[in-house]
Structure 1
Amino acid sequence: MKIVNLSQRTPEWLTWRRQGVTASEAAVILNRSPYQTPWRLWAEKTGLCAPADLSANPFVQRGIALEDQARQGFEQRHDTLLLPVCAESTAYPVLRGSFDGLTEAGEPVELKVPGQKTWDAVAREGETSLAFGLYWVQVQFQLAITEAAQGWLVFDPVRPNVRALEFVIARDAAFIKGELIPACLQFHEAVRKQQEPTPDSERDCYVPEGEARAAWERLATQYRDADTRAARLETELKGLKAQMAEAQGGLVALMGDFLLADQVGLRILRYQQRGTLDYAAVLGAIVPDLDPQLLEPHRRPASERVRVTLKCDDTEPAPAEPDKPRRRRRNASAQASAPTADDSAVSVTETTLEPEPIGYF
């Protein structure tokens, strides 16, 4: 292991990280992360896509603010000192780690200050939890650099009367040599040689090239112009509907107890309509213990949904990070043919949130 004299989270540190492969990227490279794909990481490192800005993410901010307290807590519990350092692998200098702390025995300690949902999941599921699986890879990467026999993975919410969850991670030499290091070195070469990995069509962003790029720009302009006009018309329509509602209320008031009127080109009929049944409430009342799976055979075919988000600029969007909602100016729906029996299509305009992040750096 070679110690590198850098202060973490400085511009020089960021440059050093970008020039190699880091522990926090290992799970992504192995395609074990639900938050980022290998293609997306490659695209960010080669400059094709802008990395997500997590500086305003409250979970990231909290983790950074409480890292020193989490470090001190470990030191007190184990009567040791932790040294936060940056280091490179002696055998493979492109493998780089920013350690939350090394014990006096040279064992890496990875500190996480999780949100409540993540801490509850780790407390409940232990080594089978998503967070443990992701950070187990990160600690193995650190063990590859330090060549230590074991390391520590600590989930410490830094809250009164809440114990930290500590896991001793044994070095998995077969995993490190046979899977981790080869994948990381191959990824680094792909970045260096601009060799694009295969994107995941379900998780990665489509990037048009050549003639498709020109067609995308033309159609995007067409959509934005139409949306601008639609917004003006919707505002006008809303005002007209308000005028109609006001006039209707006045006409009904003039009718008194009469149920029918037909004057000056307007026919008004007042009537009662029965309310619809709330079938979910009916099922809950009649069969309170009904297994939801029994309803699945009666579900109608799925339909394709399309969400179009108008952005304030033309820059390529970074993916939404956990617990960071996408900023929206206005959602416009576009109809798309669905591969279903009834050929139905549904437009979607709701805003969605991503899952809670489970770590930082």
Structure 2
Amino acid sequence: MTIEIIRPADRQAWLAARGQDVTASVAAAVLGAHPYTTPYALWAEKTGRLSPDTEETEAMERGNLMEPVVVAMIRKRFPEWTVTYENDRAYYRDGIRRIGATPDAFIDRADRVGTGNCQIKTASEDAFKEFWLDPDTGDVVPPTWIAVQAITEAQLTGCAWACVALVVITWRGTFQLHIIDVPIHLRLWNRLVAKVEEFWAMVASGEEPEPDWQRDGAVVMDVYRDSMPERRDLTGNTELDMLVHQYDRARVEAASAKAVVEQLRPHIIRALGNAEIGETTNWQISARTAHRSGHFVPASQSRVLRVKPRKDIEHASF
């Protein structure tokens, strides 16, 4: 495996380098194990059907700003370790397999043989409890997609071992540092390499993966956002015919439900009068006046109606 190391001059050059590969941060998508990227979304981006989102999100900004802080924490907590942190966006890529990674830091420890790759992550206290903490054992376990990222970075950088340095930002505003070793499972790595090869073969063939209809709806709409003045014969697609029937029925039912909602709403508001909150036998009602500075609010939208079951009622009587 021949690895090329690219040291980009700026962020745009770094993004351009990453654009030609499946990168470590989304590599788990080809395994169907990424929470934010699907195989279809990855395909849409790499084939140019979907422009890559190059804008730095708030979470990305937090991660980038926190990297030097996390490195400083590691050095303070473990002064006997040697931490190498360049912060230069060095990009490591296997040009044949078209897999790439931007490692965060490297660590040398007396208790480990060779240099280790260190992936830096931050999380809120709620996210830590939901995604990182094993509820049965209390162990801190990285999510699968982050483990795949750490393993990919270790393989591309030639590291002997890998870890994740996680800083939890607590509700009190304090920082908790966790160093989590990530075993380098060669079987997982080989499976990833095979899946990436299949992915690029699909891209080259012009085929496309089946969308995950629970997650890819917005991506599909973006891919096919432009229409052309042409007609397509779909009479042989019986499955589509059934889907169109379901869509039409749901559309009619939704319109009917909306009409019922609009009819019932004034009945409830009239019973409530000018009071903001009211209660029935089973329901709590609130209808506060909506205030929108500088905008005219129609009477039909002037009060925001919300209903929810009363918490003090165990069994509703309808």
TM-score (norm 1): 0.54
Aligned pairs for 1:342-353 (under 5 A) are: none
Match of 1:112? 121
Residues 81 and 276 from structure 1, CA distance in 2 versus in 1: closer, same or farther, beyond 3 angstroms? Answer: closer
1:151: which partner in 2? 162
Aligned with residue 91 of structure 2, among 86, 92, 108: 86
Partner of 1:204: 216
Between the aligned partners of 2:126 and 2:41, the Cα distance in structure 1 is 26
- The CA deviation string for residues 97-142 of structure 1, in whole angstroms up to 9 with x for no partner, is 100012243311000022332233324646686x522201111212
Q: CA–CA distance in 1 between the matches of 2:192 and 2:309?
A: 54
> What amino acid is the match of 1:65?
L
Query: Which residue of 1 is the match for residue 192 of structure 2?
Result: 180
Q: Check the 8 A contact 1:89/1:144 in 2, yes or no.
A: no
Q: What is the letter of the counterpart of residue 188 of structure 1?
A: W
Change (3 A) 1:83 1:65: closer
Contact 2:17–2:91 (8 Å) recurs in 1: no
**Could you tell me how far apart the structure 2 residues matched to 1:41 and 1:143 are?**
22
Residue identity matched to 1:4? I
CA–CA separation in structure 1 for the residues paired with 2:122 and 2:280: 49
Aligned to 1:44: 45
- State the AA in 1 paired with 2:93: E
Deviations 1:40-76 (A, max 9, x none): 1110111111233542x32221111111111222233
Match of 1:225? Answer: none
- Following superposition of structure 1 onto structure 2, how do residues 277-292 of structure 1 map, counting pairs within 5 Å? 277-279=281-283, 284-285=311-312, 287=314
* Counterpart in the other structure of 1:68: 68
Query: Are the counterparts in 2 of residues 21 and 188 from structure 1 also a CA contact under 8 Å?
Result: no
Partners of 2:115 and 2:160 within 8 A in 1: no
- Given the alignment of the two structures, is residue 167 of structure 1 paired with residue 197 of structure 2, yes or no? no
Cα distance in 1 for residues equivalent to 2:228 and 2:140: 43
TM-score normalized with structure 2 length: 0.61
RMSD of Structure 2 on Structure 1 (CA): 3.7
CA deviations on 1:144-189 (whole Å, 9 max, x unpaired) are: 3234342011211467753212210111011112x11101122133
- The code of the aligned residue for 1:71 comes to V
Gapped regions of structure 2 (runs ≥ 5):
109-113, 232-265, 271-277, 285-307
Distance 1:212 1:174 in 2: 44
By percentage of residues, which structure has more strand? 2
Counterpart for residue 111 of structure 2: none
Q: Flag the 1:128–1:103 CA change in 2: closer, same or farther, 3 A.
A: closer
Contact 2:124/2:169, CA 8 A, preserved across alignment: no
Aligned residues: 231
Q: Which amino acid aligns with 2:182?
A: I
* Identical counterparts, % of pairs: 20
Report what 1:335 is aligned to: none
Q: Mark the structure with the bigger radius of gyration.
A: 1
The structural deviation recorded for 1:282 is 8.2
Please name the residue that 1:24 is paired with.
25
Q: Distance in 2 between matches of 1:118 and 1:275?
A: 35
Contact 2:26 2:37 in 1 (8 A): no
CA shift digits 1:227-279 (9 cap, x unpaired): xxxxxxxxxxxxxx9xxx9xxxxxxxxxxxxxxxxxxxxxxxxxxxx973234
Could you tell me how far apart the structure 2 residues matched to 1:275 and 1:163 are?
45
SS of 2:143's equivalent in the other structure is helix
Asked if the contact 2:120/2:166 (under 8 Å) is kept, the reply is yes
